[in-house]
Structure 1
Amino acid sequence: MGKKTFVLYPSLGVGHLIPMVELAKHLLRHGQGVVIAVVDPPDTDAVSADAVSRLAAANPAIAFRLLPAPASPDLGAHPVKCSLDTLRLANPALRDFLRSLPAVDALLLDMFCIDALDVATELGVPAYFFFASAAGDLAVFLNMPYYYPTVPSFREMGKALVRFPGMPPIRALDMPLTVQDKESDPTKVRLYQFKRIPEARGVLVNSFDWLEPRALIALEDGVCVPGRPTPRVYCIGPLVNDGNKGNNGIGERHGCLAWLDAQPKRSVVFLCFGSKGAFSAAQLQEIACGLESSGHRFLWAARSPPEEQSQFPEPDLERLLPAGFLERTRDRGMVVKNWVPQAEVVQHEAVGAFVTHCGWNSALEAIMSGLPMICWPLYAEQGLNKVFMVEEMKIAVALEGYEEFVKAEEVDAKVRLVMETEEGKMLRERLAVAREKALEAIKEGGSSEVAFAEFLRDLEKTSSSENGECK
């Protein structure tokens, strides 16, 4: 099978770019050619351009191309609508870019780049989605355009259970925020997006067979998409950042890693909530009190409360945390402002539990490190991930009250549960098995490698029946 050229097309935002970089590295390891085309609208903050240059510096083998896009015409719209509008307006730039390449064998799309399907159709290029979250989320999303019209808005249903074909019951309030109100713009945009996913030739999912058998059976049986074929699903994960030895390939090793070096094995609770995870001042106080009363060591990445971030990009920890907290816990705790190298931290042998927002990258990194999780979902599909992680995969426990406010006693109780109890020990044993199964999946002959080879064969069949050149 000859070398193919893949164009990877992430959605806006660093959270969507990072999984695409992992996919690019995976394709390169398999001898394929890769270009990542990143939309660069004039109205985004400089973070995205910075992220691209940082990722490009850390991954010199990957070609990045910035595509100019006009600003979304309705900048006051909901971010989800804004994002899809901007990506649709980038279609001409994407079309020109694809035409400028000698050949394009496939376009691999982020799930928000739904309108790029039109460019792929026009140019005769096979399009696949790269779904960077759980297969369970995909099963739910594919069914939503058919299910949602028959029930009230999720926000009116609260704790009532929602039942999607082949999936465990899910509380309505654990469905993504963007679909809570069925009359709203974001919900209409998401349903449009989910309904078009089956137009692709297939979906590559960043998961592995052993972890999500129930979701994969539902997808394979075609029960998620009534009345039309479900695209072929290829579980090719876990694709995660390997940590690059503690400095992301550039610069010095982060100070928190040296601090972890001095802690006993599996003794530290790590708290980190993704690039957008921020809490109110009152909630930060409760987390601090809970950590202090648990008596356990901790490493905590903390941000300023959302309403203070423009004024105080660096959190003022002395003011935000309880009086004397930093002094009282300095021998067993470390609070880092804003950012830690998460991929390296979760792999560190001193870390024994991970309090996480349940972003899928974070969950996979923890699985690859055999690290039990305490779930605190915040946004996007994280509430859904929590349901699957706690009830289906049994690799995590959830914090009570995460929907509104988590009390110090609950933080204390869940930290102790994972670190001290028999239930915590069983969780660690389950994670040790999950890690082993993840490593098996990505080995030669493992389920994810086999699925990836099938994806390439499917593409080969397409190219032999039609000319994959873009003119």
Structure 2
Amino acid sequence: MSQISERKSTIHVALFPSSGMGHLTPFLRLAASLVANDVRVTFIAAHPTVSLAESRALSSFFTSFPQVSPKQLCLLPNDESSSNTDDPFYRRYEVICSSCRLLPPLLSSISPPLSALITDMSLISAVLPVSRAIGLPNYVFFTSSAKMLTLFMSFHKIFVTKAMPGSQDNKDVIEIPNQEPIPVSWFPPPLLEEEDNFLKNSLIQNGKSMVDADGILINTFDDFEPDTLNALNNAKMPCGLPPAIAIGLLPPANFGESHSHPLAWLGNQPIGSVIYVSFGSRTAMSRDQIRELGDGLVQSSVRFVWMVKSKKVDQEDTEDLEDVIGQKLMTATSGAANGLVVNRWLNQSEILGHPVIGGFLSHCGWNSVTEAVWHGVPMLAWPQHGDQKINASVVKRAGIGIWEESWGWGEKDMVKGEEIAERVKETMRDESLKARAASMKEAARTALGVDRDSGRGFKALLTEMWGAK
């Protein structure tokens, strides 16, 4: 074993994700990448999980990667009457945060001793005091775009200065230090409310705590977000900010379920002819919008695979598909050569990697964006909530997708089938999008090379962790 490999093998890192597949998935990929670099990994998962999809993903991962040591943080009893939110995922964040006082004995019991802890961005304010008390370096894994990180780290200052809509300035854009201004219309609506709410309070608390972390890891790469990454590590940024380290794109880890039915159907379609339609694990559209979307897909005459979701939490998706999409649409797609509709969890990266997929209609959750980039699939962006408009702006600026900003937030604005059909056809016909997506795919797959920015960042991270032992 070389001296470098010997050093890597002495590093022992614990990973601690938050609630939801959007946070769990990148942590599993990070764990797989660390293992590939001969790093010992302990994976701490909150128990119980909030969704069936999370439980299955963890089980599949530990089976595929037996060298990763699983640990459970058994959550304290949940008093829902005192919760600040009725969202099941946010409520689980609250419980995980309140249970973090159970971490010290768990972390101290891990053997050999840990070199560092990598904590989810939504838990850092609760975890950092624990890691500091036991002298353990603590890095943040930011599970969204670098562009979103600039808002995440600045929002508490913006909020304090009252430079938000409704203030006397009533600005249309918000100034971010050393960044292009962010339009107010891109902000998640809960951040614009005058009253306190879970998302706003979480962003303020965790944004303040980020400055005390040892570093911030981001699943992105220089060719994808060059200006933002350069600004985050620019000497002109406010003093005291930890380094923002691009470590992506993290390759999809080879674990999880395959779904023979969609794959069999895809195998009978022409190369590049199918658009994949999915809005992630948390987007629950109204029935009316679901049916407008279905009408639009049928009207477009483009082949499609559509993963329908009507509930926010995965195990609640128990309704018959016909009840969700309606008898008319069920009849139009049943047995049709040009469409397949499913209402169960799919291995999205596996679908996007199929050669017949030529487009992706997506909410622009960051995992979906990075998977599309990894597989070179052009995107039609339709943000629904959260960070997704900011992520959509990254997609549009990189030239790998179309974003119709007039569609607004999916939770509030109805988009008609005719409009959807036109944008689907435009996405699938745009040769410049295809060429740019193919080019970005190559850039993503070379970014982790030893002489490239993300590769150097990953190597520097491991060297720093080894030196901290």
Question: What residue number does 1:167 align with?
Answer: 179
Alignment of 1:45-444 (within 5 A): 48-73=54-79, 75=81, 76-78=83-85, 79=87, 82-102=91-111, 103-114=113-124, 115-151=126-162, 153-154=164-165, 160-186=172-198, 187-221=200-234, 226=238, 228-242=239-253, 244=254, 248-250=255-257, 253-304=259-310, 312-316=318-322, 320=326, 322=328, 325-327=331-333, 330-390=336-396, 392-399=397-404, 400-403=406-409, 404-420=413-429, 424-444=430-450
Structure 1 residues 437 and 45, CA gap change in structure 2 (3 angstroms) = closer
Structure 1 residues 191 and 349, CA gap change in structure 2 (3 angstroms) = same
Structure 1 residues 363 and 307, CA gap change in structure 2 (3 angstroms) = closer
Q: Distance in 2 between the 1:310 and 1:459 partners?
A: 41
Contact 1:222 1:229 in 2 (8 A): no
Structure 1 residues 331 and 236, CA gap change in structure 2 (3 angstroms) = same
Residue 218 of structure 1, CA deviation? 1.7
Residue 152 of structure 1, CA deviation? 5.3
| 2:264 maps to amino acid | A
Residue 199 of structure 1, CA deviation? 0.5
| 1:209 maps to amino acid | D
Residue 109 of structure 1, CA deviation? 0.5
Contact 1:292 1:329 in 2 (8 A): no
Please, what TM-score do these two structures have when normalized by structure 2? 0.88
Structure 1 residues 372 and 311, CA gap change in structure 2 (3 angstroms) = closer
Question: What residue number does 2:4 align with?
Answer: none
Structure 1 residues 450 and 67, CA gap change in structure 2 (3 angstroms) = same
Contact 1:159 1:173 in 2 (8 A): no
Residue 324 of structure 1, CA deviation? 6.3
Q: Distance in 1 between the 2:441 and 2:192 partners?
A: 34
Q: Distance in 1 between the 2:424 and 2:303 partners?
A: 10
Residue 90 of structure 1, CA deviation? 2.0
Residue 277 of structure 1 aligns to a residue in which SS? coil
Q: Which runs of 5+ in 1 are unaligned?
A: 464-471
Q: Distance in 2 between the 1:67 and 1:194 partners?
A: 24
Contact 1:128 1:203 in 2 (8 A): yes
Residue 198 of structure 1, CA deviation? 1.1
Deviation per CA, 1:403-456: give whole Å up to 9, x if none: 211111221111111122xxx211111111111111110233322111111112
Residue 119 of structure 1, CA deviation? 1.0
Question: What residue number does 2:25 align with?
Answer: 18
Give me the CA root mean square deviation.
Answer: 2.7
Please, what TM-score do these two structures have when normalized by structure 1? 0.88
Deviation per CA, 1:114-145: give whole Å up to 9, x if none: 11111111110100011121111111211111
Contact 2:119 2:138 in 1 (8 A): yes
Question: What residue number does 1:469 align with?
Answer: none
Contact 2:360 2:380 in 1 (8 A): yes
Contact 2:60 2:256 in 1 (8 A): no
| 2:13 maps to amino acid | F
Contact 2:321 2:342 in 1 (8 A): no
Q: Distance in 2 between the 1:395 and 1:158 partners?
A: 33
Structure 1 residues 60 and 136, CA gap change in structure 2 (3 angstroms) = same
Structure 1 residues 319 and 457, CA gap change in structure 2 (3 angstroms) = closer
Contact 1:280 1:306 in 2 (8 A): no
Residue 190 of structure 1, CA deviation? 1.5
Q: Distance in 1 between the 2:35 and 2:354 partners?
A: 27
The yes-or-no answer on 1:462 pairing with 2:468 is yes
| 1:397 maps to amino acid | I
Q: Distance in 1 between the 2:243 and 2:93 partners?
A: 24
Residue 283 of structure 1, CA deviation? 0.8
Structure 1 residues 288 and 141, CA gap change in structure 2 (3 angstroms) = same
Q: Distance in 1 between the 2:414 and 2:170 partners?
A: 16
Q: Distance in 2 between the 1:307 and 1:40 partners?
A: 16
Report the more deviating stretch, 313-322 or 211-220: 313-322
Residue 371 of structure 1, CA deviation? 0.6
Q: Distance in 2 between the 1:139 and 1:223 partners?
A: 14
Residue 65 of structure 1 aligns to a residue in which SS? strand
Structure 1 residues 81 and 325, CA gap change in structure 2 (3 angstroms) = closer
Structure 1 residues 324 and 456, CA gap change in structure 2 (3 angstroms) = closer
Residue 442 of structure 1 aligns to a residue in which SS? coil
Residue 397 of structure 1 aligns to a residue in which SS? strand
Residue 349 of structure 1, CA deviation? 0.7
Residue 150 of structure 1, CA deviation? 2.9
Contact 1:278 1:306 in 2 (8 A): yes
Contact 1:9 1:107 in 2 (8 A): yes
Q: Distance in 1 between the 2:307 and 2:20 partners?
A: 20
Q: Distance in 1 between the 2:242 and 2:64 partners?
A: 34
Identical residues among aligned pairs (%):
28
Contact 1:69 1:86 in 2 (8 A): yes
Structure 1 residues 10 and 181, CA gap change in structure 2 (3 angstroms) = same
| 1:4 maps to amino acid | I
Structure 1 residues 178 and 110, CA gap change in structure 2 (3 angstroms) = farther
The yes-or-no answer on 1:39 pairing with 2:46 is yes
Aligned residue pair count: 451
Residue 309 of structure 1, CA deviation? 9.0
Question: What residue number does 1:468 align with?
Answer: none
Report the more deviating stretch, 283-292 or 322-331: 322-331
Q: Distance in 1 between the 2:345 and 2:20 partners?
A: 17
Q: Distance in 1 between the 2:171 and 2:342 partners?
A: 35
Contact 1:304 1:315 in 2 (8 A): no
